[in-house]
């Protein structure tokens, strides 16, 4: 944790504590966090009607992303509640694998998701919304002092969170036609991008894209495979009542595939693709390529899967997940009509690619405050990330830390052993990124400890101390935590002696008979035994909620693995506990190569642990730093 510089707190009708630029997923979480922590907060948006808009896929969660949503909820954010209230299909992914990588996903009613999030912001105390364009940040003594809008209006403010998504110098491409836009229908933010460059921030260009939207009335769904959601649904928010039915009607998705003719159409028209003719300069997402990219790069693939996902309960629009494209409109129509079930499809909106500016995240402290300007925070795609969930997690942390800085308090920095949010931010500020960053479970070294189900056990206390978790929700969490400990103790203390009746019950479960007394916890470690089996085996009633039982069963069954990961975390904490002085001069230190000196000087790691994760910083260099710290009595 780090302290921010001193700033005098004042309050008058013409001044705000925190201003958030942007009303997307990062901006919403940042603004709500700042306002809920008691700061007078203003959200500046280009279009008030697009607050909380889902510019691409109308879904929340997915692999590793579901973990982020759970963590946002545990800390007191809004995304989980918003998707639970507006979802039209819930699914849990990766269930054939271990519990560490189980991930939740939900399809949203796009309109309801946006309207509910806007309503939450409008109803939040200490929060104001203004439709305006911020052109530049005003500074005093190297710190944020205000902003200047396109209407020459000056707004005094003490901290700013920039969460502009794809709007910085946004440029939309459809075929070889392009035009400035932040997303389809909204203008870009050009002068703010210019100010960032003039101020010296290292910037680059990235690219993302979205598929066409289809008229569902022109799709032959009867020819396609149907995919239903989970029943009962797995909600995201820990506050959601698992016994309730979903708030919205649940709709199925449908599955189809591209084919040889689809691929032929794409190849025949590849010379009209802005990606393959050099028109697009920005770097696209490696893990979410366009359909033309997939066809050209993976020529051996005979087909690519497409999920036809409804955009809501009161619209005919269908999102064809898997065919993001920037091909010309006529090619998009021909390509889609070559696909089974889409032979007569009509397009409601064309697919397109969008290029936009981003700032190298090495410009940031782990609090997401910029190193160049005090009181200025970045969150979301401006930091080179992709995805609603990555943006929202950053927005929440940026909003929290904007308030912390104003109060001259320690900022909140989650480490890699605490949360996927910590992995995400540490990757960005330590390694930087040259392509859109996407979070995966494989990026987390301690993923068995960072499961979706225990996000509240990891982070709820922090959210409550920050004032973001309401007392009622925290009391419910405390009851859950107490129930987990009580059930664990009961299973560890209850001893079952072998006898004919017990061994008969074990045989019915295809389990080996007992030869000696065992605790219920020892029995539960057997792979064929579940928690639900223990009560009948022991002839006792075990009372627990589904959430408590799930946590207890995982802890006991995976205890050996969990213990090993905890040992790894202890070693990690020792390196993380070795602080590196912020003003440390690396040049001239014995044992450091020029490359290492350059990288350490650029990143300015806070700890030895962070230094060890910088590409090119060798174990020998870490040993040299340890020796230096010991000589200087800093270790």
- Average pLDDT across the chain, whole number: 94
Give the separation between CA 504 and CA 498, rounded to whole angstroms: 10
Contacts 24+ apart (CB under 8 A), 136-139: 136/191, 136/192, 136/195, 137/195, 137/199, 137/373, 137/376, 139/373
Concatenating the DSSP letter of every residue in 151-189 gives TS-EEEEEEEEE--TT-BT-EEEETTEEEE-SBTTB--B
H/E element, 381: none
DSSP conformation class of 245: P
- For residue 404, the model assigns a pLDDT of 98
Q: Model confidence at 152, in pLDDT bands (50, 70, 90)?
A: very high
Percent above pLDDT 90 for the chain: 87
User: How confident is the model over 244-252, as a mean pLDDT?
Assistant: 90
> Is the per-residue pLDDT at 244 higher than 80?
no
Q: Say how far apart CA 542 and CA 540 lie, in whole Å.
A: 6
More confident residue, 99 or 80: 80
Which of residues 8 and 71 earns the better pLDDT score?
71
Pair 562, 555: CB distance under 8 Å: yes
What pLDDT, in 10s, does the model give residues 468-500?
Answer: 999 999 999 999 999 999 999 999 999 999 999
Identify the band that residue 10 occupies on the pLDDT scale cut at 50, 70 and 90.
very low
* In the predicted structure, residue 6 carries a pLDDT above the cut 70: no
DSSP-derived pairing of the beta strands 376-378 and 305-310:
unpaired
What's the token pair of residue 457? 């056990």
Question: If you average pLDDT over residues 421-450, what whole number do you get?
Answer: 95
Mean pLDDT of 439-457: 94
Contact 399, 31 (CB under 8 A): yes
pLDDT category at 448 given cuts 50, 70, 90 is very high
Residues, the chain, total? 635
pLDDT (0 to 100) of residue 635: 76
Distances (CA, A) of 533 to 509, 542, 554: 9, 10, 15
> What pLDDT, in 10s, does the model give residues 21-42?
999 999 999 999 999 999 999 9
- The stretch 231-244 carries a mean pLDDT of 86
The C-alpha atoms of residue 60 and residue 21 are separated, in whole angstroms, by 22
240: confidence class by pLDDT, cuts 50, 70, 90: confident
Q: Cis omega before residue 456 (within 30°)? A: no
| Token pair in block for residue 598 | 């350059």
**pLDDT at position 261, please?**
97
Residue 285: per-residue pLDDT: 85
* CA atoms of 335 and 259, how far apart (whole Å): 10
* pLDDT at residue 242 in the model: 66
DSSP codes joined into one string, 256-282: EE--HHHHHHHHHTGGG-TTTTT---S
DSSP 8-state secondary structure symbol assigned to residue 361: G
């Amino acid at each position: 944790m780090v302290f921010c510089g001193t700033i005098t707190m004042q309050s008058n009708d013409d001044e705000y504590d925190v201003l958030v630029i942007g009303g997307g997923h990062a901006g919403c979480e940042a603004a709500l966090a700042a306002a809920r922590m008691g700061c007078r907060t203003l959200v500046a948006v280009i279009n008030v009607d697009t607050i909380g808009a889902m510019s691409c896929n109308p879904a929340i969660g997915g692999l590793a992303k579901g973990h982020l949503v759970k963590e946002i909820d545990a800390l007191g954010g809004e995304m989980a509640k918003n998707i639970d209230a507006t979802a039209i299909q819930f699914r849990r992914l990766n269930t054939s694998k271990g519990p560490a990588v189980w991930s939740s996903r939900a399809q949203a009613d796009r309109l309801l998701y946006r309207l509910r999030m806007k309503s939450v912001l409008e109803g939040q105390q200490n929060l104001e919304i203004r439709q305006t364009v911020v052109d530049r940040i005003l500074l005093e003594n190297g710190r944020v002092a205000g902003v200047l809008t396109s209407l020459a209006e000056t707004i005094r403010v003490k901290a700013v969170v920039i969460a502009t998504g794809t709007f910085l110098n946004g440029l939309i491409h459809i075929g070889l036609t392009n035009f400035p836009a932040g997303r389809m229908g909204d203008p870009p933010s050009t002068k703010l991008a210019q100010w960032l460059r003039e101020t010296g921030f290292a910037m680059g260009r990235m690219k993302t894209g979205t598929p066409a939207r289809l008229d569902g009335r022109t799709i032959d769904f009867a020819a396609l495979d149907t995919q239903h959601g989970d029943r009962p649904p797995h909600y995201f928010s820990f506050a959601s009542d698992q016994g309730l039915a979903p708030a919205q009607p649940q709709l199925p998705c449908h599955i189809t595939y591209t084919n040889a003719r689809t691929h032929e159409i794409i190849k025949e028209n590849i010379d009209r693709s802005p990606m393959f003719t050099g028109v697009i300069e920005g770097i696209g997402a490696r893990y979410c390529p366009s359909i033309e990219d997939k066809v050209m790069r993976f020529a051996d693939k005979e087909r690519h899967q497409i999920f036809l996902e409804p955009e809501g309960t009161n619209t005919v629009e269908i999102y064809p997940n898997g065919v993001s494209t920037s091909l010309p409109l006529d090619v998009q129509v021909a390509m889609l009509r070559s696909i089974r079930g889409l032979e007569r499809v009509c397009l409601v909106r064309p697919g397109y690619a969008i290029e936009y500016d981003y700032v190298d995240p090495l410009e940031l402290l782990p609090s997401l405050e910029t190193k160049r300007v005090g009181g200025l925070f970045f969150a979301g795609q401006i930091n080179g990330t992709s995805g609603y969930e990555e943006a929202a997690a950053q927005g929440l942390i940026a909003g929290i830390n904007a308030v912390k800085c104003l109060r001259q308090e320690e900022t909140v920095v989650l480490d890699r052993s605490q949360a996927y949010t910590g992995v995400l931010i540490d990757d960005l500020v330590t390694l930087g990124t040259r392509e859109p960053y996407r979070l995966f479970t494989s990026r987390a070294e301690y993923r068995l400890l960072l499961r979706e189900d225990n996000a509240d056990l990891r982070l709820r206390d922090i959210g409550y101390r920050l004032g973001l978790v309401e007392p009622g929700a925290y009391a419910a969490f405390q009851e859950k935590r107490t129930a987990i400990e009580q059930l664990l103790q009961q299973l560890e203390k209850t001893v079952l002696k072998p006898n004919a009746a017990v061994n008969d019950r074990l045989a019915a479960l295809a389990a080996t008979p007992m030869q000696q007394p065992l605790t219920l916890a020892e029995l539960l470690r057997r792979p064929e035994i579940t928690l639900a089996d223990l009560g009948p085996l022991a002839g006792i009633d075990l009372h627990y909620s589904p959430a408590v039982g799930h946590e207890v069963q995982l802890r006991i069954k995976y205890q050996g693995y969990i213990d090993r990961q905890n040992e790894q975390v202890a070693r990690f904490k020792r390196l993380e506990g070795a602080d590196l002085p912020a003003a440390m001069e690396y040049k001239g230190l014995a044992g450091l190569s020029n490359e290492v000196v350059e990288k350490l000087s650029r990143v300015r790691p806070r700890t030895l642990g962070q230094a060890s994760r910088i590409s090119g910083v060798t174990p020998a260099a870490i040993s040299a730093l340890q020796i230096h710290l010991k000589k200087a009595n800093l270790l």
